[in-house]
Amino acid sequence: MSFHVDSEVGLLKQAIVHRPGLELSRLTPANVEELLFDDVMWADRARQEHDAFVVQLEARGVVVHEFATLLAEALDQPGAREFLQDRLATATRFGPALDEPLDELVESTDAPLLAELLIGGLLKSDVASLLSAPSLLMEYLAPDDFLLRPLPNHLFQRDNSAWVYDGVSVNPMAKPARQRETINSRVVYNFHPMFTATEVNFLYGNDSLAHDTATIEGGDITVIGNRAVMIGMGERSTPQGVELLARSLFKAGTVDTVIVVELPKERAFMHLDTVMTMIDRDAFCVYPFLPSALRSFTLRAVGDGGAFKIEENFELWSVVAEALGFDDLRILRTPIDKRGAEREQWDDGNNFLAVAPGVILGYERNVTTNRYLTDEGITVVPVVGEELGRGRGGPRCMTCPIEREAVS
Ligand SMILES: NC(=O)NCCC[C@H](N)C(=O)O
């Protein structure tokens, strides 16, 4: 069976999530900001909330794969550890004295523990006994200092890989705190039997090139359907990254329209899915105070080699409607004052995960938005996210769909 995501709201059949592990216990007041969290977490409670989220998904028939398990299983496949060794030492750039100890650790650690360390981070003390040559860095670090930083944002599986129709982009991430996530995801997609049993069509990022500013993150990518994709461009996904993915999609022949929406470069607008999500075949939930002057562009394929032409749009929603073949869309903006809207948006009040057309999972705390959407005929399944939300991501951010039906 091969994987494909043919829409944003069609029946969700399979997804990858990450149950938060060791990495959450390693968030401290001193490192949260650098690790892109807003607070330290109560790790056990976050896990309970995540477990409840998975129960909700499974109750709706979604087959849920746990990322750390996939990673551990992939690490036991031939070639996986060598692949990792080649990329980890390069990625960490800790000096030649550490190449060997890191390689040895990768070679000799049991897969489940190695997966835990790759996500949870590696301390100086984890590798000290493996050191055979002098390392100034190791002298400099305290025993409890990180050699590999924890990756708490693996929780947000949406971002470091994204399926677009029948291909996947393993995304070069914008922020240093998240760049190593992509190496872990590449191990999964290139070595896990679930994926190697199929021929994975890599759209972007599955190479060892320096992607520099050509970054793109899944929170910006929405497979709206009908051979079209909408991509946010702002703090995380750059014009260069969007362009490279668009070229690859056009070349693959599965997409003929990419609608690019320019977002303000602010944390509150870090991804497209922080300000809008598609929640039904013809409906979007949109942050009510989204600046009306947002620019957008439509990229249309020209020929079959990846080339495209660009048009700047006067208005976004008519272009999206046209791409979907509708006369009109329902653009649902919660009637709420500015402060209320800002608070709910901060708490992922526009970040919904559809499991079927018009059936969405969202944080329960966004009561005004949830009530409004319910009145509009949408089924909102409430998700508890008192701890999870402190990482600034909601149900859509926490889920990487790998199989989803098209919408008729
Ligand atoms: N798609 C999303 O909006 N993902 C949430 C990412 C939150 C994470 N702390 C980050 O700053 O990247």
Q: Spot the catalytic one: 259, 397, 402, 407.
A: 397
> Which residue among 40, 159, 400 is best mutated to probe the pocket of ligand 1, counting the most ligand atoms within 8 A of its Cβ?
159
What is the Cα–Cα distance from 361 to 210, expressed in whole angstroms?
36
How many angstroms separate the alpha carbon of residue 220 from the centre of ligand 1? 10
- CB of 392 shorter than 6 A to ligand 1: yes
pTM of the model: 0.96
How many angstroms separate the alpha carbon of residue 24 from the centre of ligand 1? 15
> Which residue among 271, 272, 275 is best mutated to probe the pocket of ligand 1, counting the most ligand atoms within 8 A of its Cβ?
271
Let me know if 397 is a catalytic residue.
Answer: yes
Of 293, 289, 281, whose CA–CA distance to 336 is shortest?
Answer: 289
How many angstroms separate the alpha carbon of residue 350 from the centre of ligand 1? 13
Residue 34's Cβ-count burial label (10 Å; 0-12, 13-18, 19+) is exposed
Domains of the chain, each with CATH number or no CATH: 4-61+152-404 (3.75.10.10), 70-148 (1.10.3930.10)
285's tokens: 């939930």
What is residue 290's DSSP assignment?
-
How many angstroms separate the alpha carbon of residue 160 from the centre of ligand 1? 10
Question: Which three-class secondary structure string do you get for 155-189?
Answer: HCHHHHEEEEECEEEECCCCCHHHHHHHHHHHHHH
- CB of 159 shorter than 6 A to ligand 1: yes
Nearest CA to ligand 1 atom 6: 393
Q: What is the pLDDT along the chain (408 residues), one digit of tens a residue?
A: 689 999 999 999 999 999 999 999 999 999 999 999 999 999 999 999 999 999 999 999 999 999 999 999 999 999 999 999 999 877 667 778 888 888 999 999 999 999 999 999 999 988 888 888 888 888 999 988 999 999 999 999 999 999 999 999 999 999 999 999 999 999 999 999 999 999 999 999 999 888 989 999 999 999 999 999 999 999 999 999 999 999 999 999 999 999 999 998 888 889 999 999 999 999 999 999 988 778 999 999 999 999 999 999 989 999 999 999 999 999 999 999 999 989 988 888 899 999 999 999 999 999 999 999 999 999 999 999 999 999 999 999 999 999 999 998
CB atoms within 10 A of CB 190: 18
Of 328, 296, 301, 293, whose CA–CA distance to 313 is shortest?
Answer: 296
What is the Cα–Cα distance from 205 to 194, expressed in whole angstroms?
20
How many angstroms separate the alpha carbon of residue 156 from the centre of ligand 1? 6
- CB of 156 shorter than 6 A to ligand 1: yes
Nearest CA to ligand 1 atom 5: 393
- CB of 395 shorter than 6 A to ligand 1: no
Taking the CA of residue 178 as reference, the ligand 1 atom at the shortest distance is 12
> Which residue among 392, 396, 399, 400 is best mutated to probe the pocket of ligand 1, counting the most ligand atoms within 8 A of its Cβ?
392
Note the pLDDT of residue 91. Answer: 67
What is the Cα–Cα distance from 71 to 80, expressed in whole angstroms?
10
Note the pLDDT of residue 386. Answer: 94
Note the pLDDT of residue 31. Answer: 94
What is the Cα–Cα distance from 263 to 368, expressed in whole angstroms?
24
